[in-house]
Amino acid sequence: GQNIDQPTEMTATEGAIVQINCTYQTSGFNGLFWYQQHAGEAPTFLSYNVLDGLEEKGRFSSFLSRSKGYSYLLLKELQMKDSASYLCAVKLTGGGNKLTFGTGTQLKVEL
């Protein structure tokens, strides 16, 4: 079976940096996505990694290590509006663009 693990909840302070980890054990791998989802809203695309290394996009960065089955999402200069659920999702080999999601990490940003 496919297994994607991420912490259920995290709390951080406004202006700080937070790292959300995701580990996966899947039969085949063809890329990893991070999505942000505010309560009652659509998931929105944050990042895509298919090769090892760091992808940086403004305040958000995502890292992938395929040999370790590990990714993280790094959020810098946290803002209150960053309070949301962060979903890690894997594309499997031969699965087209079907995504297998983790349960999501609920991030709460406090003053």
Partner 1 sequence: ETGVTQSPTHLIKTRGQQVTLRCSSQSGHNTVSWYQQALGQGPQFIFQYYREEENGRGNFPPRFSGLQFPNYSSELNVNALELDDSALYLCASSLGIGSGEKLFFGSGTQLSVL
Residues that bind partner 1 (CB under 8 A): 4, 30-31, 33, 35, 40-45, 48, 50, 87, 89, 91, 95-104
Least CB distance to partner 1 at residue 13 (A): 24
State in angstroms the smallest separation of the CB of 43 from partner 1. Answer: 5
Residue 89 to residue 64: CA distance in whole angstroms? 12
**Angle, alpha carbons 31-100-17 (nearest 5°):** 65
Query: Minimum CB separation from partner 1 for residue 68, in Å?
Result: 21
Structure tokens at 72: 């993280």
